[in-house]
Amino acid sequence: MRARTKARKRALDILFESEARGDAPLEVLTQRRETTDAPPVSDYAGMLVEGVVAHRDRIDQLLAEHAEGWTVARMPAVDRTLLRIGIFELLWVDEIDDPVAITEAVELARTLSTDDSPRFINGVLGRIADIAEHLRATR
């Protein structure tokens, strides 16, 4: 597994854990950085967690607008978290090409979520990627 793929998986783990426990994501991130009992948190994983937290309201607004037939709250937690990371990468991480952000989210969904999740995530991120240039200009 490549370094950024591992970082995305680690960010997913941290964001998922914080949501499941009702803990603040940045507190979980800090705890994971300080422990030796869990895999290390790379700089990229930390940046993903921090970015999703910083832009979560806007990310969730985009999810609500582009996830046809789904509310954000009704989405499976893994899918919702992968979509948040994917949208953050699409709109705020300039060094990641849009197709890479989408492919990485889809591949993680293929391994970690339901059979329908990869297609769902690909569709939502694809719709957002189609208007990403406009969205980036308004951020």
**Residues 22-52: pLDDT tens digits?**
999 999 999 999 998 888 899 999 999 999 9
End-to-end CA separation in angstroms for the chain: 32
Residue 1 has pLDDT above 80, yes or no: no
How far apart CA 13 and CA 126 sit, in angstroms, is 23
Cα 58 to Cα 36, 64, 121: the distances in Å are: 34, 10, 18
Q: Which pTM was predicted?
A: 0.95
Percent of the chain clearing pLDDT 90 (strictly above): 89
